[in-house]
Amino acid sequence: MRAEVLIDYTKDGVIEISVLRQGMSSGAVQIYNSADEARAALTGLGFVEGLVNSQLKALWKAPVGGLLRFPVTDIPDDILRSLGFKAA
């Protein structure tokens, strides 16, 4: 499916990854307690490591709750399900 992937973090340092079907305003969200967990999920979604690392680095410079977007991409449904994004 064509998907938009967004990341943000909470004041507790929890990272949220949202996957939205392109053109939709809501989708599936997974919560990660560390940057390493989030990095693994984002690379599992098919994003290259360099992009993931730069976005995670930028995330910590953004205000709490500030959303960062990844490029719209095709993500197979079975990959989404395997990473827990069942409602995307």
How confident is the model over 16-47, as pLDDT tens digits? 999 998 777 678 999 999 999 999 999 999 99
pLDDT at 21: 84
Widest pairwise Cα distance in the chain: 33
- Average pLDDT (50-78) is 92
CA–CA separation, 12 vs 49, rounded Å? 25
Is pTM beyond 0.75 here?
A: yes
Q: Which residue has the tokens 């360099």?
A: 50
Q: Do residues 32 and 18 touch, judged by C-beta distance below 8 A?
A: no
More confident residue, 65 or 43: 43
CA–CA separation, 2 vs 72, rounded Å? 7
Provide the pLDDT confidence category of residue 74 given band limits of 50, 70 and 90: very high
Q: Do residues 17 and 5 touch, judged by C-beta distance below 8 A?
A: yes
